[in-house]
Amino acid sequence: MGPLKKHWAIVFTMKLTAINSSIRTNCSLSTSTVLNKECLSSAKMQRILIKHDRSIIQETKVKSTKALKEAYAFLGLTLAFSYFVFWGPLALFKIPTSSFVNDVKGSSWAIALFLVGGFVPSLLAIFLTWKKEGVSGLRILGRRIIQFKLGWRWYVFTLLIVMAGTAGQLTINKLLGNTFNGYLFLAQLGSFLPLLILGPLSEEIGWRGYALGRLQTQWNALTSSLIVGLFWALWHLPLFMMMGTSFHESGDPFIGFLIKMMASSIFYTWLYNNTKQSLWSAILLHWLYTYAAQVVSSGIARSPLYNCLEYLPYVIMAAIVVLICKPQTLSRTQKTLGYTDNKSDSSDNVNSVR
């Protein structure tokens, strides 16, 4: 049962118990005809309230079911565009594109197809938001993108996640007897700004801005994170077979990437839920994480053992977050988080149950 439906079911049960108890108590004490009439009138009113609460529960179920279907439709369409329109054909026919880590360059049309394909999650989310919620929905989405006031500690946590994960991977590389040239972090700074667009902005409006909140109307935060992480990784799959991409050129194994993405998705949800659904929190983490991962992948010596161990730092950190904040919301300040249809409530997309 989703967090919203579970909450309303508990509230309804408590109200029903209290109302029945009140009716039994008042009516058992009533001896006169006048009091009995008042008792019956009160009972009638309370039954109306029960019926009203039932309608609220039903309406909540309908909305959460609709939101979940919208999330699944988005995830399915995103994979379909990736596999059959943009990246899939490039990978299938071994057509080179472009890379930030070497001099591999493909034809201009292939590079264009590669770049446009990277914007599918965000472009699709923007289109679906406009289609279902109109201009008001787009305004709310835009405000969440520039919601920079996260609180200093969440900026610190974002940096710590990337630094700790990167340090863990470099430590594993060193323990296996390999070296790493730290100068690569400076040498590849030219790709830092482009990576803000080619990754964070081109994806996060979809993964966290559209899918995550809708999934949380039915599933808890941990399950929603893993679902988004699974589709997020599968969306990248053609890049592992596409000539010129950093995934292909560095020989990253997809299974390790899949586990790392599903673990990392927990961090994104943790930040997102604790910063009032700020998309900037997800964009910033994605930006820093992508750059660090690119540099590390270009400078380490891969081996079968390293490929099995490289995702462990992120899995360990994700497990710590789940243990501390609990899987229901991954948040210590809000008990229930989910998507609210902007047509009915445009104030905020957070449902908080006290």
> Cα–Cα distance between 11 and 53 in angstroms, integer?
9
pLDDT reported for residue 28: 53
- What pLDDT is stored for residue 346 in this prediction? 36
| pTM (two decimals) | 0.80
Residue 198's alpha-carbon distances to 159, 219, 269, in angstroms, are 20, 30, 21
189 close to 101: Cβ distance less than 8 angstroms: no
Contact 96, 249 (CB under 8 A): no
**What's the rounded Cα separation, in Å, for the pair 216 and 223?**
8
3-state secondary structure of 98: strand
The mean pLDDT of 79-99, rounded to a whole number, is: 90
- How many angstroms separate the CA atoms of 94 and 243, rounded? 6
How far is it, in rounded angstroms, from Cα 60 to Cα 66? 10
Q: How high does pLDDT run on average in the chain?
A: 83
Q: What digits encode the pLDDT tens for the residues 224-239?
A: 999 999 999 999 999 9
pLDDT tops 90 at residue 243 = no
Using alpha carbons, list the distances in angstroms from residue 149 to 154, 176, 277, 282, 346: 10, 41, 11, 13, 20
Is residue 344's pLDDT more than 50? Answer: no
> Contact, 202 vs 232, CB < 8 A?
no
- Give Cα separations from 157 to 178, 192, 196, 281 (angstroms): 29, 20, 19, 10
Question: 234: how many CB neighbours lie within 10 A of its CB?
Answer: 17
H or E stretch covering 8: helix 3-29
- Give pLDDT tens digits for 189-211: 988 988 888 889 999 999 999 99
225 class by beta-carbon count within 10 Å (0-12 exposed, 13-18 middle, 19+ buried): buried
